[in-house]
Structure 1
């Protein structure tokens, strides 16, 4: 491969100092599992202190059934801090330990979706979709298409990083453009635009699982809607695409200069490997038809005259659609499964039913680290509820914020900024949200802000700093992709490439979040910015 790229510019001493500080602080942090072990220990100690000092919080409540842990008397709902060392709490901890894990909403939803997604991924469907999307694109349309496909690649799990980003470098090189420009644009879309997508997917199901657990601290009837952020994440694609396009073509590419290399035999051979074969194209067509069949099935179950098992006719308004929203978890899984099997049969990556079962098993096996994490996260959230510290912190925090009369847009931007700061040191989106949600979701519900809006603000903040920290798990991999074209590229070089994107996303994301709350735009089907607690005055 021709190495005609000019040597990378060295980082300044100040950049090295900032990077060194980030790396030192980040390396002091333990594994996310151990973070929750320490949080549980701290929570147990805090519950003893809170119970001893008589911590409590109250709010007016006119409902008939108070939330778990609350005491209703004369129209006032009161929560009192309870030690986690009481007989009842110790009994729940040890006797209900299996139930605490299996009742953890995010675990079940992730496992169900993964059963289908694992087949689609291992059959090669996601890789073929990505490769097919990039072939034959006009030179001037490369960047916007890379943006959109990059944000959609989140449905393909790791394939967005492992397949799409290096492929973008290849395609740019074949078009005579600097391959590092393609890698930068793809990295910005896949990782910096992590919150955006055309349709909801696995990430929505995962995060809303934690949101549901947290919302039920205050409102036991709240049920997650996987479509609750659809309009918001779609707007991210619309807003971020021109930003990536402008920075890529007008900032990054001029900075890197023209690429001095030419497509040689190695590059042409590598591009030939990435081309979609006839069997793969036929498989993609069959996968699309299978997906349409699943969509038609769930549409019929919702709209068929006289037979609507996914519509609750006893309810009014959007409440009628709750069964449909909840069924989307199964719909995603079945759609991935049907499309993956159809594609696999066409390309012969699936020959027998045993292959499908093996792919499912491999997918579940890949979730082993997540299941370990879920065990400790589930117990942290459950123990937080048993201690009543969650609603106490939420109620008192809400009262303090009300007294300050801070506008709702400002409050949501604070959540966004806090999550973006944490993202510099803790890469796991689920780890951060499982720790933050039990406090911020109930607190904002009491301030009249919906769980869906709080989740949207969090995921926006968790997105744009992914590309601005070397502690991000895929950062070394992207660095290796860059060095495949220019061996002089270092951590500082890659950060210098990505920081303009991060700052652009920061400004746009903050403005977008504040505007969404200010104008009270709907977040998705059946999801609003505002929230009224049932039974409250």
Structure 2
């Protein structure tokens, strides 16, 4: 990877260069996960033989009642474990939702990219945005992309790379910016999203252990979330401009993988301008259709029981379909206007091309899905999480230090258990009642969980989309590897975690309202 002048590098830049070199010496990601699978299998047999277990209280996700449970390490080398390994090969892969999300998203994204819409939109954004504002715009949009669940990984991250390239900036800096925004701030947004409904429900179940009349609403963290979005937008953009891009230096198009477009420039041709107008008409038509499906009372995409639209509703649960249709519709209408995709046959060919390019990633996801399933089966992550939380719970410290310690524990566990819902189902019945007895409102505990759960998503290889980001990077630098992404994301993770935790502490100390 091309970087700036060695003589002018700071100590941190030289350290990150070392991290990258060491990281890129590791084998192919598939080999890494095969090694990890072997370690999990062997370790599960050892721990299982010693009867490692932990007893705890948790919220049953089906009944929402607190129950006492004992979780023991399960061996993968006994009779049941071997049966699981043999019989779960296909179910493990089929239940790995990242695969389905990626393929569905690429149906639309492939058409948008092949027609030229993505490039034209990015160049239009470059034309209308001041150069200094591009980083902040992409950072802000990336954080808000979590409203579409995991679709932000598949859409915003590659778009950020293209946007940087369009203005002559290093595309890896754009990818890093997009990854930090989408992953590192995943649990906060300016809008209420489906994840909020689940987290709030588990929080209320835990709060009722202390006070059956105490409940919080969906907007219980909205003020803190809005402030966090604005705060993190500035931090992510600042780190990108002052740390990441200077280290990368000037981009050399010769580093790009074969077949990758590295042309720069921001001017639009007459055909491209007409294509954008057609895409606008297509988007308007799609909006009208979805307004009819969502706005009227009893509309098909509203919750059939409560009638809500934002929260637990068919519209929010199937938002990836809207993302796919948006790119498919605008991509095709752009192609008609610009003359790049006119017929249905050409559209199908564009979709086939985008799916073919996912072959290596799908194989990696197959191996990754087996590792995740085996790790979950052994219960090693759960036992570790409960052991750490037990140590923190027994510590004789005040409310704010306990909250800060809680944030640290969540961050550590997030390196191994990346699912926000699964971790909160374990942590909520422990820490919400504990802190409520110390006079801490449940809204504050949930806000602390949001802070601890997000930043590490951008650096853990167990993030289902980490390998995908490595693939994005290899398009622009064929020598890029795991070490490249880790070295790019380390500054984001460190500063986001420290400064966001400081914001939380200041918010708590000042007694500001967490939400409505």
Equivalence for 2:464: none
Q: Secondary structure at 2:167's aligned position in 1?
A: helix
- The whole-number CA distance in structure 2 between the counterparts of 1:366 and 1:451 is 40
Shift of 1:195: 4.5
Distance 1:117 1:108, change over 3 A: same
Shift of 1:387: 2.5
- Alignment pair present for 1:148 and 2:143: no
Equivalence for 1:356: 347
Shift of 1:128: 0.7
- Alignment pair present for 1:311 and 2:303: yes
Equivalence for 1:164: 163
Contact 2:185/2:455, CA 8 A, preserved across alignment: no
C-alpha RMSD of matched pairs (Å): 5.4
- The whole-number CA distance in structure 2 between the counterparts of 1:499 and 1:63 is 36
Shift of 1:296: 4.0
Contact 1:310/1:323, CA 8 A, preserved across alignment: yes
Q: Secondary structure at 1:29's aligned position in 2?
A: coil
Q: Deviations over 1:423-458 (max 9, x none)?
A: xxxxxxxxx677687985555445458999757645
Shift of 1:132: 0.7
Alignment of 1:5-404 (within 5 A): 10-11=7-8, 18=15, 21-60=18-57, 76-135=68-127, 141-149=130-138, 152=141, 155-161=155-161, 163-169=162-168, 189-190=177-178, 193=181, 195=183, 238-239=230-231, 242=234, 274-313=266-305, 321-404=312-395
Shift of 1:150: 6.2
Shift of 1:38: 2.0
- The whole-number CA distance in structure 2 between the counterparts of 1:100 and 1:452 is 32
- The whole-number CA distance in structure 2 between the counterparts of 1:190 and 1:520 is 30
Q: Secondary structure at 2:341's aligned position in 1?
A: coil
Equivalence for 2:402: 407
Contact 2:452/2:497, CA 8 A, preserved across alignment: no
Q: Secondary structure at 1:311's aligned position in 2?
A: coil
- The whole-number CA distance in structure 1 between the counterparts of 2:356 and 2:392 is 44
Q: Secondary structure at 2:312's aligned position in 1?
A: helix
Contact 1:48/1:82, CA 8 A, preserved across alignment: yes
Contact 2:136/2:233, CA 8 A, preserved across alignment: yes
Name structure 1 gaps, 5 residues minimum: 1-6, 170-179, 220-226, 255-269, 420-431, 466-470, 481-494, 523-527, 529-537
Q: Deviations over 1:296-324 (max 9, x none)?
A: 434433332334443131x5989972433
Shift of 1:413: 5.0
Q: Secondary structure at 2:329's aligned position in 1?
A: helix
Alignment of 1:512-523 (within 5 A): 512=503, 521=514
Equivalence for 1:257: none
Distance 1:300 1:273, change over 3 A: same
- The whole-number CA distance in structure 1 between the counterparts of 2:474 and 2:311 is 47
- The whole-number CA distance in structure 2 between the counterparts of 1:243 and 1:357 is 41
Equivalence for 2:251: none
- The whole-number CA distance in structure 1 between the counterparts of 2:342 and 2:335 is 8
TM-score, scaled to structure 1: 0.62
- The whole-number CA distance in structure 2 between the counterparts of 1:228 and 1:367 is 40
Distance 1:143 1:433, change over 3 A: farther
- The whole-number CA distance in structure 2 between the counterparts of 1:500 and 1:391 is 28
Q: Secondary structure at 1:76's aligned position in 2?
A: strand
Distance 1:40 1:509, change over 3 A: same
Q: Secondary structure at 1:77's aligned position in 2?
A: strand
Contact 1:115/1:360, CA 8 A, preserved across alignment: yes
Contact 1:184/1:248, CA 8 A, preserved across alignment: no
Shift of 1:366: 2.4
TM-score, scaled to structure 2: 0.65
Distance 1:336 1:76, change over 3 A: same
Shift of 1:115: 1.4
Distance 1:409 1:346, change over 3 A: farther
Shift of 1:127: 1.0
Shift of 1:36: 2.0
Moved more, 390-399 or 440-449: 440-449
Contact 1:131/1:275, CA 8 A, preserved across alignment: yes
Contact 2:406/2:448, CA 8 A, preserved across alignment: no
Shift of 1:283: 2.1
Contact 1:134/1:146, CA 8 A, preserved across alignment: no
Contact 2:61/2:425, CA 8 A, preserved across alignment: no
- The whole-number CA distance in structure 2 between the counterparts of 1:93 and 1:228 is 42
Contact 1:398/1:446, CA 8 A, preserved across alignment: no
Distance 1:320 1:504, change over 3 A: closer
Shift of 1:189: 4.6
